[in-house]
Structure 1
Amino acid sequence: MTYVIHGATGAQGAPVVASLVAAGKSVTALTRTPDTVVDGARVVAAGYSSTEALTEAYRGADGVFVHLPVTSEEDRRTYARNIVTAVRAARPDRVVLSTSGTPTDPATGGAVAVLLGGLADSGVSHAVIEPTLYLENLLMPYVLGTVREKGVLPYPIRADFPVSWASHLDIAEVAVALFDRQDVTGVVSVGQYPAITGPDLAQAFGAHFGKDVLFEAISPEQMRASVAPVIGEGPAADVAGMYAAMNALPARSITPENSAQKLLGITPRTTGQWLSDLGL
């Protein structure tokens, strides 16, 4: 059985590769450069911009794990259409898509919505992993560094805003399970439930590091300025816009009915468990 993993050396794809390799599965790691080494996997250079390369990579696969990269929304829409074209041509047995926390409302015309719609029309078995926010966002220097240096956890959400946080490690567990559970289709929500607030996050960080940590709500613009040097001005502006829209909502919580807890029996890590698993 062969599984094709997008972004195999990145934050989302690497844990999926590691989990499949540990389970003794055959893995094809898709990367941008052919000389990349991925332990336990065959490396194939196939970019999102090449429908032909994607089709060749998907052909004969038992499963494909897909997520869109952080780049301009125009490029993401192009990549989404290319992925759908390749899936329709290659007909892999199963596709598992992570929305990466991006809104999926078709009315917005976003890239993830384009990809979701295309997969739904493809006739290929698929499931959609829908996280809310990633705990790994808290590893950004402007967050983790401030926790360590000042005992303050800054993040662009309101202090009273509950979130069902999830780890990339949780996503990997769910993705691997969904490859085997073809009876589970549609959306699977992944995240802590009940959802927790910013002060809850700070308390968990404080307990882990053995110090008092306070939560500080910062603006999306402050966050944009902090991440732009890392991901680029355009993507940073898009992410800041997403947080601005999110803060107008009452919460960002999963629903128990379609959760990984209910559908797959997988309970996401608590914040403290995640910090311990990372060895921080």
Structure 2
Amino acid sequence: MRVLVFGATGSQQFNVIAEANKKGAEVIAATSTETSFEKLKEAGATPVLGDMSDAASMLAITKGIDAIAFMIPVSLPNPFDGVVFAKNVIDAAKVNGVKKLVWNTSGWLPDQKIGVPTEDLKLDVRDYLVNSGLEYVIIEPTIYMENMMGGFCAPFISNEKKLAYPTPEAMPIGWIASRDVSAFVVEAIYHSDLKADTFQVSGLENLKGNALAEQFSKGAGEEIVYYPQPAKEFEAILAPFVGEAAAAAVASFYDGLQKATAYPPKFNPDMNEVLKKLPVKMTSLEEWARANKAFFVK
């Protein structure tokens, strides 16, 4: 099995390499720059240069590929370029006879367009994939535990013993580890009976802010309290990492949550049914915090 991974240099897809290696796959990792080659080689992948905006480039790197682990780049100056990128990959996969494409959507898809470009474009991509004729599986994860390693959160934990996140304390979330999502992606690739399927996945714990901080504290071995970060503060910290436009778009979503009286679901109560089809050993928040304690506790 030759598996081509997009986004493998980032935390959301990096673990696909190890999970696919466990299955005996030959992993090829697409990257836009040779500076990532060493990291990808050390992880167990063969790096290949690929420009997602270039249809010819996608045709070249998908030749001889059995399955694709796909993700749209998170930070794009023009978010709607993501639709072009996705179409180039999907079209190339069709031409080259790729057996299956598994898409990590980086979040649950909205029911309809909501005026946030980074989210709305995903609905166009979904429709294109569904109508492509390819076998596919769509994995929709909730919020990543790894988000807490971001510059808007980690320094608060390290320096102020506050778990900063721009969601209200009263909003429950089924936080999920990126390794678990990568494991779902790889299981979906290897399950031949899954050909046109979508799974909303979450962690097994539905934690409000204070409960999140409590579980994090158990793993880190230090008392950490929850800090519902104002959307504007979050935006200012995020902008240098993803650009002002992308930061503003994401912050507007969180600002809406902070003003809401009802919250969108970020937890799948039927995860046991998902795990029957995609058997993955799930990671608890406490386990994740313990494993990453050295990153936060200096």
Query: What displacement does 1:275 show?
Result: 2.1
The C-alpha deviation readout for 1:49-106, integer Å capped at 9, x for no partner, is 0111112222332110111112232222222232232233223101000110153435
Residue in 2 aligned with 1:92? 98
Residue in 1 aligned with 2:70? 66
- Cα distance in structure 2, aligned partners of 1:194 and 1:8: 27
Is the CA contact (8 Å cut-off) linking 2:220 and 2:289 kept in structure 1? Answer: no
Structure 1 residues 34 and 209: alpha-carbon distance in aligned structure 2, compared to 1, 3 A threshold: closer
Is the CA contact (8 Å cut-off) linking 1:164 and 1:253 kept in structure 2? Answer: yes
Residue in 2 aligned with 1:197? 208
1:20-169 matched pairs, under 5 angstroms? 20-34=20-34, 36-37=37-38, 38-39=40-41, 40-70=44-74, 71=76, 72-101=78-107, 103-108=109-114, 110-169=120-179
- Cα distance in structure 2, aligned partners of 1:155 and 1:2: 38
Structure 1 residues 230 and 207: alpha-carbon distance in aligned structure 2, compared to 1, 3 A threshold: same
Please, which moves more after superposition, 33-42 or 186-195? 33-42
Residue in 2 aligned with 1:220? 231
| Equivalent residue pairs, number | 280
- Cα distance in structure 2, aligned partners of 1:60 and 1:258: 35
Query: What displacement does 1:229 show?
Result: 1.3
CA RMSD of aligned residues (A): 2.1
Secondary structure at 2:80 match in 1: helix
Runs of 4+ in 1 over 6 A off after TM superposition: none
- Cα distance in structure 2, aligned partners of 1:207 and 1:120: 43
Query: What displacement does 1:193 show?
Result: 2.9
Is the CA contact (8 Å cut-off) linking 1:189 and 1:255 kept in structure 2? Answer: no
Residue in 1 aligned with 2:6? 6
* Unpaired stretches in structure 2, ≥5 consecutive residues: none
- Cα distance in structure 1, aligned partners of 2:247 and 2:19: 30
Structure 1 residues 22 and 56: alpha-carbon distance in aligned structure 2, compared to 1, 3 A threshold: same
Secondary structure at 1:133 match in 2: coil
Residue in 1 aligned with 2:187? 177
* Unpaired stretches in structure 1, ≥5 consecutive residues: none
Query: What displacement does 1:122 show?
Result: 1.1
Normalised by the length of structure 2, the TM-score is 0.86
Secondary structure at 1:142 match in 2: coil
Is the CA contact (8 Å cut-off) linking 2:219 and 2:293 kept in structure 1? Answer: no
The C-alpha deviation readout for 1:185-227, integer Å capped at 9, x for no partner, is 4211221234111111111221122222111112222211111
- Cα distance in structure 2, aligned partners of 1:79 and 1:259: 32
Is the CA contact (8 Å cut-off) linking 1:97 and 1:127 kept in structure 2? Answer: yes
